[in-house]
A and B are shown apart, each in its own frame.
Chain A
Amino acid sequence: MKVERGEVEHVALLARLKLSEEEKEVFTSQLNAILDYMEKLNALDTGAIEPTFHVVSHCNIMREDEVRGSLPQEASLENAPDRAEGCFRVPKII
């Protein structure tokens, strides 16, 4: 087993997911099966190979710093689950 149940709990917390006991069980076994399958990549010696993170090579696309239209405050807040005084409202943080 590559991934123990405790590690699944740790990863879930990193991903901000709360898993039920049953989900922890199922994900532990499924993640192990999938990661076992991914082991096959170790058959390849890739020591000297540059990684490809993106297939297009352009980088640092610049534009003029011009004032452009943006989303009005009202439209930005329209989908908010909770709002107050022109802001997004969230539960207590501190």
Chain B
Amino acid sequence: MYRLTIHELHERLKRKEVSSQEVTKALLERIREVDPRIKAYLCVTEQKAREGAQEADQRIATGQISPLTGVPLAIKDNMCTQGITTTCASKILENFVPPFDATIVKRIKEQGGIIIGKTNMDEFAMGSSTENSRFTTTRNPWNLDAIPGGSSGGSAAAVAADECIAALGSDTGGSIRQPAACCGVVGMKPTYGLISRYGLVAFGSSLDQIGPITKDVEDCAILLNAIAGHDPLDSTSIDLPLPDFRKALIKDIKGWVLGIPREFFVEGMDPAVEEKVWAAIRTLEGMGAKVKEIALPHTGYAVATYYIICTAEASSNLARYDGVKYGFRAPGSPELMAMYLETRSQGFGPEVKRRIMLGTYVLSSGYYDAYYRKAAQVRTLIKADFEKAFQGCDVIVTPTAPTPAFRLGEKVQDPLQMYLSDIFTISVNLAGVPAISIPCGFSKGGLPIGLQIIGRHREEERIIQAAYTFEQNTDHHMKRPRLS
């Protein structure tokens, strides 16, 4: 029962073949069975989930059912949940219990969705392997010695290991798509502004976006329908009418032009990734799409641009953690300045400190123009690359990550190598356009490989349609890791 997708579960709930309480119980048992090995969750909200399921069953009995009613979901631990700790996998927020719900959490609850737990992540979403969590190391369900990807590694692993029906993640530079690729599930970063960020703990405010991590493309569309839309509490959220994303679940890509950026297929890419991504492109071609080589000439500058902008924004956003109003305070400091210094030094882990340092440096007097302003100018060029490329194609198709999931511990000593694992995903955040990662095959070692489909600004429907067409003509999304 825990293997069901949102739409499969919804049909069974509607026909009263199963109750929300039964599926919640099955998932809680599944978590007890496999999570000691996977460690996807930081906290499982068993009691609240059982109560929520009971309420959902009552709603269903009276005929009130939305596509999310009675569906247990996992939430990345950087989205505020009233009465449930929200730690960002950081010591500095280890005891923080939000007095309010993030807008997306509120929307899920209003639609009868059930929150079954909060998932592990890189501290403050800074990382590509979830190894920067201060609390636990999440493992890849396909190979327990491999990383689950990051920073939404807990959410992706929970979906892949059937420890929830679906999950939410957040994506600043690839943090939904790269773990989705590593764990063989579907992950989407929507257009910047499509989903409210109110209650999402801020990392890089001009880049952060919440999105779904699901077992298939149909679930992605359902979850997007449930959480997208304007929110007066987030001034960057887009105030325009929304489509029904399920209407884009069409198996047809005839005549579409797929843009293949030559800069993304460079030497050094893992041969298995190259092979499976090209096989996927051939499959789409076989369904009537046309392939066209395109150029995104500033791709090689994206990593440098991104790590200037995101660290600058992070250093300002994280200034709020001062041990005064909430979170951790280092004990024993006789005066205020010492309290700030001790609290922040003990509260933040090494990668967070490194990014605060880098961000403070690039914003500091004398370096602002050379780094921050320069990066913002290159961002204009990267954004223009996409606008120009999309004049000649409908969607852009690339690998999600240059390699399958690497081994735990492999890159922790070398931050620059870790940053380069985001090379195919970050330009999408810089440009603010939407992209999805879907499974497209496996390496010889049995690790999943992700295909990234990028769309124009606000054209989620197009990437859903392309992804759905591919998925429905292949069986990669049906495969599950063996855990029992």
Chain A residues close to B by CB (< 8 Å):
3, 7-8, 11-12, 14-19, 23, 27, 30-31, 33-35, 37-38, 40-42, 44, 46, 49-56, 58, 61, 63, 71, 75-76, 78-82, 88, 90-93
Q: Chain B contacts of A17 at CB under 8 A? A: 341, 344-345, 348, 353, 356-357
B295 to chain A, nearest CB (A): 15
Chain A residues near B325 (CB-CB < 8 A):
76, 79-80, 88
**B interface residues, how many (CB within 8 angstroms):** 67
Measured CB to CB, the closest approach of chain B to A10, in angstroms, equals 8
CB pairs A–B below 8 angstroms (29 shown): A12-B357, A14-B364, A15-B356, A15-B357, A16-B322, A16-B344, A17-B341, A17-B345, A31-B354, A31-B361, A34-B419, A37-B416, A38-B307, A38-B371, A40-B301, A41-B305, A41-B308, A51-B376, A53-B376, A55-B431, A55-B432, A56-B193, A56-B238, A71-B100, A78-B97, A79-B97, A90-B339, A92-B334, A92-B336
Q: Is the CB of B374 within 8 A of A46?
A: yes
Asked if residues B328 and A81 are in contact (CB atoms below 8 Å), the reply is yes
- B268: CB under 8 A from chain A? no
Q: Nearest CB to that of B303 among chain A residues?
A: A37
Contact partner of A46 (CB less than 8 A), chosen from B319, B339, B344, B377, is B377
User: Which of A23, A31, A46, A53 is B378 in contact with, Cβ under 8 Å?
Assistant: A46
Give Cα A11 to B432, complex, Å: 30
**CA separation between A66 and B315, bound complex, in Å?**
33
- Interface segment out of the listed B12-20, B44-52, B379-387, B389-397: B379-387
Q: Are B383 and A50 in touch, CB under 8 angstroms?
A: no
- Asked whether B236 lies within 8 Å of A56 as measured between CB atoms, the reply is yes
Residue of A nearest to B326 (CB): A79
Interface contact A34-B376, CB-CB below 8 Å: no
Is B358 located at the chain interface by the 8 A CB criterion? yes
Cβ contacts under 8 Å, B335 to chain A: 91-93
**Contact for A49 among B96, B322, B334, B381, CB less than 8 A:** B381
Cα(A18)–Cα(B307), bound, Å: 23
Q: How far is it, in angstroms, between the C-alpha of A56 and the C-alpha of B193 when the chains are bound?
A: 8
For the complex, give the distance between the alpha carbons of A89 and B404 in Å.
49
Closest A-B pairs by Cβ, 10 of them: A55-B432, A51-B376, A79-B326, A81-B329, A46-B377, A18-B341, A75-B99, A61-B235, A49-B377, A15-B360
Question: How far, in angstroms, from A37 to B415 measured CA to CA in the complex?
Answer: 12
5 new A-B pairs (CB below 8 Å) besides A80-B326, A91-B339?
Answer: A40-B301, A41-B301, A46-B374, A46-B381, A51-B379
Report Cα–Cα, A35/B376, bound state, in Å.
16
Q: With A16-B322, A38-B308, A40-B300 given, is the CB distance from A11 to B361 under 8 Å?
A: yes
